Amino acid sequence: MTEPTAREAHGEPHGDGFGVRLNWLRAAVLGANDGIVSTAGLVVGVAGATSERSALLTAGLAGLLAGSMSMAVGEYVSVSTQRDSEKAALAVERRELRDQPEAELDELTDLLAERGLSRDVAREAAVQLTERDALRAHARVELGIDPDDLTNPWHAAGASFLAFTVGALLPLLAIVVPPAPARLWVTVVSVLAALTLTGWWSARLGAAPTGPAVARVVGGGAVAMAVTYGVGSLLGAAGV
Per-residue pLDDT band at 10 (split at 50, 70, 90): very low
Where is pLDDT greater, at 217 or 23?
A: 217
**In this structure, what is the dihedral angle of CA atoms 111, 113, 115, 117, given to the nearest 10 degrees?**
150
Per-residue model confidence (pLDDT) at position 155: 84
The predicted model gives 186-214 an average pLDDT of 87
Per-residue model confidence (pLDDT) at position 239: 60
Residues 6+ apart with CB under 8 A from 96: 103, 104
Per-residue model confidence (pLDDT) at position 237: 66
Per-residue model confidence (pLDDT) at position 194: 92
**144-184 pLDDT per residue, tens:** 887 877 778 888 888 889 999 999 999 999 999 999 889 89
Q: How many whole angstroms separate alpha carbon 81 and alpha carbon 211? A: 36
Q: Nearest CA to 135 among 174, 165, 103, 96?
A: 96
Q: How many whole angstroms separate alpha carbon 209 and alpha carbon 199? A: 10
% of the chain at pLDDT higher than 70: 88
Where is pLDDT greater, at 46 or 9?
A: 46
Give the least confident one: 99-103, 210-214, 235-239. 235-239
Helices 180-205, 210-237: inter-axial angle, 10-degree rounding: 150
Q: How many whole angstroms separate alpha carbon 36 and alpha carbon 201? A: 15
Alpha helices in 100-209 (DSSP H): 101-114, 119-138, 153-176, 180-205
**36-45 pLDDT per residue, tens:** 999 999 999 9
**96-134 pLDDT per residue, tens:** 888 888 888 888 888 888 888 888 888 888 889 888 888
Per-residue pLDDT band at 14 (split at 50, 70, 90): very low
**50-70 pLDDT per residue, tens:** 888 999 999 999 999 999 999
Count Cβ atoms below 10 Å from residue 38 Cβ, excluding itself. Answer: 23
Per-residue model confidence (pLDDT) at position 40: 92
